[in-house]
Structure 1
Amino acid sequence: MKKYELLIVAAIVMADAFSKGIIVRVFEYGERLEVIKDFFWLTYLKNTGAAWSILEGQLWFFILISLVAMAGMVWYFLKTEQRQVILRVSLMFLFAGALGNFMDRLLLGYVRDFLSFKIFAYYFPVFNIADISLNVGVGLLILDALLEGKSEHGKS
C-alpha cells in the first residue's frame, strides 16, 4: 500500500470523526437545525442499526460484520494491481467508511448521524461522512465493474 493511499483513508476517517465530534459538542440529541430551507438539516441522532435503522440494536452483529468486511477489503486491496486505480480507490472509500462507523459502534454502542436531506417530499435517512464514503465506494465499485465488463466485451 502506498503512503498516499493510507493518507486518503486516514483523511476520510478523521473527517468523519471530527464532524461527529463537532455535532455532539454543539447539538443536543435530537436537535435539528435547518441549513437550507426545506432541503438540508443538521440533526443529531444515535443509530443502533443500519440505514433506516434496519436491524436496530444488533450491535455485535454489526461489529462482527464490519470486522469481517474490513478484513476482506484489506485482503482484496492487497491482491489488486496498482493499475486498477478505480477498484483501489473504491476499496479505500469502503474501508474508511466501514472503519468510521465501526469505531462509533465499538466505542459508543451506536453510530452518530447528523446529515438530513429532503428531496421531492422524501426525507432520506439521516447519515454521516462515513456513510457518504461507503456510498462513494459502492459507486466506484459499480463503475469499475462496468468498465471492466466493457473492456472484456471489447476483447472478445
Structure 2
Amino acid sequence: RKTMYVGESISVIGKFFAITYVQNRGAAFNLFTGKGIFLTVVPFVALLAAIWYMERHKSAHFTLCFALQLIIAGGFANLIDRVALGYVTDMFDFRIWPVFNIADICICVGCAILVLYIFVFDKPQQKSTGAKNEPGKNI
C-alpha cells in the first residue's frame, strides 16, 4: 500500500499474472459496495457462528476442523482490513478473474474442503438395529 497507487499493476508473468493494488469496498467481486455496516456485521456474526460450531465439535473430523479454521482465518483477516481501513486490500490479479488476496484464498479453499468433507466424510450413521434398511420401514 505504501509503494503502489490504487490501480497500479506490476506484471509478474507476462499478461497472465500481475500484482495489482485494489481497494475492495464491497464483498467478493465488489458486490454490495457501499454497504459498510452490512459487510462488517454479517461476516462478524458468521465468524462467531463458525467459531461456536467448531468449539462445540472439537472432536470432529480433521477435515471439518481444517476447513473451518481456513474460513475463520480468511474471514477475520478481511474483517480486520475492512474495520481498520474501510476496505479490503486485494492484490493477486490473474486478469481473467477479479483481483483477490490471501484471505480470499483461505476462504475459498476452506469452502472447497468443507464441500469435500460433506460429500466424502460426513456420511449419515446407519442405526445398527440388525434389521435391513428396507424402503418404507423408517417412515
> What interval of TM-score do these two structures reach, taking the shorter chain for normalisation?
0.7 to 0.9
How many residue pairs were aligned? 128
In 2, Cα distance between equivalents of 1:60 and 1:40: 33
How far did 1:28 drift?
A: 1.5
Counterpart in the other structure of 2:54: 77
In 2, Cα distance between equivalents of 1:71 and 1:110: 21
1:126 counterpart (83, 95, 99): 99
1:152 aligns with 2:129: no
Q: TM-score, normalised by structure 2?
A: 0.85
Counterpart in the other structure of 1:104: 81
How far did 1:153 drift?
A: 8.0
The alignment yields a C-alpha RMSD, in angstroms, of 1.7
Gaps of 5+ in 1: 1-23
What SS does the corresponding residue of 1:25 show, helix, strand or coil?
A: coil
CA deviations over 1:59-82 (Å, ceiling 9, x no partner) = 110100111011001100011143
The verdict on how the C-alpha distance between 1:29 and 1:42 changes in structure 2, with shifts beyond 3 A counting, is same
Q: How does 1:52-67 map to 2 (within 5 A)?
A: 52-67=29-44
Gaps of 5+ in 2: 128-132, 134-139
Structure with higher helix content: 1
CA deviations over 1:39-77 (Å, ceiling 9, x no partner) = 111000101101221111111101001110110011000
4+ long deviations beyond 4 Å: 153-156
Counterpart in the other structure of 1:28: 5
What SS does the corresponding residue of 1:90 show, helix, strand or coil?
A: helix
Counterpart in the other structure of 1:93: 70
Amino acid paired to 1:41: A
How far did 1:154 drift?
A: 8.3
**Largest Rg, 1 or 2:** 2
